[in-house]
Amino acid sequence: MALSNPPNQAWLTEALQVTELMWEDAAQPTYSLVNGDVYLASGHRGLRILDDIAMAVSTVEGKQIAVIISDGSRRDAMDLTFATLGSPSEDDRAAVDKFMALARSQPTSEALVLATIQGYASARIARLIDHAHKRLSSFDVMATDKTARFDWSCPPKPGEEPTGWKEPKEEFPRCFRGIVRNYGTQSSRDYMRMMLEDIKSEMAALGPLTPDRIANTSTDSLLSICFLANALVQSDYLRRRMMSGSATQTVGRYAILRYELARIARYHNALIRIVRWARVMEGRITYRWLSDGEGCKASAVQLRDSPFYVLQENLYRKSEDFKPEIEAVIRPWETCVLTFVHPELRLIQTAGDKALQILGTSESVCHCCRLWIEAHNRSSSTPWIFTEGRDHADKTWKYPDESPPEQEIVEAVKERKWRVFTVHNGPYSCAGTFHFAPLSLLF
């Protein structure tokens, strides 16, 4: 679905596609939902691990499984509730049971976790690798870049290409030790060349990317692909190319490649965190399905910073000299993306009348979330209760009478003007709250 055509649309489209994969200071979960205070207050640890669990138990690409921490959870124990849109399938239940059995047994390595995931998520993994392999097969980073040292402390002017390389430790800041362990001492250019060649060859060696082939593939081979994808995604070189002011077509090519690799790289980072989490919990984990009982109770909806706003802040912070150019790109998008609901409110779609039991009531629901609640209350026997918050929204803007599918909301937003309102949320204070739907629906 295409939006209106602002300047440099392709550049911003790709930037928004990878926003949630570029967060440095906090996690922005895609499918996980949180409503506890303990974990939110501890460096977003709870948000991050719930996102890892949601991804680990997803058997099919695009399948949304919500993971919720109950109010009864403590630092030394955790009570989880799983939910899906509609009733969970037998495959969903089997995947969660296998994963939780592994977590309770305290896995000793990332390979053990991946071997378990590999058994029930082979279709999803095959699809991710296939998409990345197609992008890599037509990508040659060495064809356009020189070996000259590039001083990023003096950024190029808009339109100029950042063609050189930093020192390896700066070029691959997060995966440098692992790269040196695998490849020895090399230049940044050689590291990039060897990793690209290796990941291409390892993906090609898998043969036809079918679920059966992935299920029977060596776990070490998949783990190696995940590591290489993560190292390439963390490359500061790819970040520079993607965020440069060069030709839109070139920037989009780098951004799409990084986006496809990042979906595989998430497994590498998640495996490490899951192993650590399981050790800390020492088996003190309980779980249930929302459809099987009362579910968990919570005191309030927890609101989080939006990816769009964080993208804007990160761009300004890293490229102060380019602020006018960035604003020229972002401003035309505001009427298209400063709506849609918080992740927590999506649980209305998943849990229906039981959503109130999970999320409770809130005294600071933003205007767009309130409209969803009003639509829910008109058709529900268990209405939500909320009081006036600090927001001052345009009262003339309304959704359709019935709670609409997200595709219809996208079209509705494109046709209307939205007055920006002020809300203080988390560590940021911003004039306006930017929420948007899953990226696959926006672009």
Confidence grade of residue 8 (pLDDT, cut at 50, 70, 90): very low
Any idea which residue has 């990345």 for tokens?
Answer: 132
d(CA 233, CA 175): 10
Same domain, 137 and 229: yes
Same domain, 145 and 288: yes
Residues forming beta bridges with residue 288, ordered by sequence position: 81
Residue 361 domain boundaries = 309-442
Same domain, 263 and 366: no
Measured CA distances, 293 to 81, 286, 288, 297 (Å):
10, 14, 8, 12
Quick one: which of 253, 153, 140 has its CA closest to 192?
Answer: 140
Same domain, 281 and 336: no
Q: What is the pLDDT of residue 376?
A: 65
Confidence grade of residue 251 (pLDDT, cut at 50, 70, 90): low
* Average of per-residue pLDDT across 227-232: 88
With beta carbons less than 8 A apart as the criterion, state whether 429 and 395 touch.
no
Same domain, 293 and 438: no
Residue 13 lies in a domain: no
- What are residue 186's phi and psi, to 5 degrees? -140, 175
Which comes out higher in pLDDT, residue 107 or 79?
Answer: 107
pTM above 0.85, yes or no: no
| Domain termination site, one of 239, 271, 300 | 300
Residue 353 lies in a domain: yes
d(CA 190, CA 143): 13
Dmax over CA atoms of the chain, in Å, equals 67
| Domain termination site, one of 300, 325, 357 | 300
Same domain, 184 and 315: no
Asked whether the predicted pLDDT for residue 93 surpasses 80, the reply is yes
Same domain, 68 and 136: yes
Same domain, 241 and 101: yes
Same domain, 285 and 321: no
* Average of per-residue pLDDT across 356-361: 55
d(CA 34, CA 362): 14
Residue 193 lies in a domain: yes
Same domain, 138 and 171: yes
Of the ranges 65-69, 96-100, 159-163, 196-200, which one carries the lowest mean pLDDT score?
Answer: 159-163
Any idea which residue has 């505001």 for tokens?
Answer: 334
Quick one: which of 15, 224, 254, 226 has its CA closest to 138?
Answer: 254
Same domain, 319 and 266: no
Asked whether the predicted pLDDT for residue 368 surpasses 70, the reply is no
Q: For residue 165, what is the DSSP state? A: B
d(CA 80, CA 68): 6
Q: For the chain, what is the mean pLDDT?
A: 61
Of the ranges 3-12, 81-90, 172-181, 224-233, which one carries the lowest mean pLDDT score?
Answer: 3-12
Residue 10 lies in a domain: no
Residue 9 lies in a domain: no
Residue 11 lies in a domain: no
| Domain termination site, one of 252, 279, 300 | 300
Asked whether the predicted pLDDT for residue 38 surpasses 50, the reply is no
Confidence grade of residue 335 (pLDDT, cut at 50, 70, 90): very low
pLDDT tens per residue, range 156-202: 454 444 556 778 888 887 778 888 888 888 888 888 888 888 898 89
pLDDT tens per residue, range 284-294: 888 888 777 65
Same domain, 172 and 155: yes
3-class SS at 216? coil
With beta carbons less than 8 A apart as the criterion, state whether 421 and 392 touch.
yes
Residue 16 lies in a domain: no
Confidence grade of residue 441 (pLDDT, cut at 50, 70, 90): very low
Confidence grade of residue 420 (pLDDT, cut at 50, 70, 90): very low
Q: How many domains does the chain have?
A: 2
Measured CA distances, 68 to 72, 79, 316, 410, 413 (Å):
11, 8, 33, 27, 30
Residue 14 lies in a domain: no
Asked whether the predicted pLDDT for residue 351 surpasses 50, the reply is yes
d(CA 17, CA 271): 23
Any idea which residue has 């809130």 for tokens?
Answer: 362
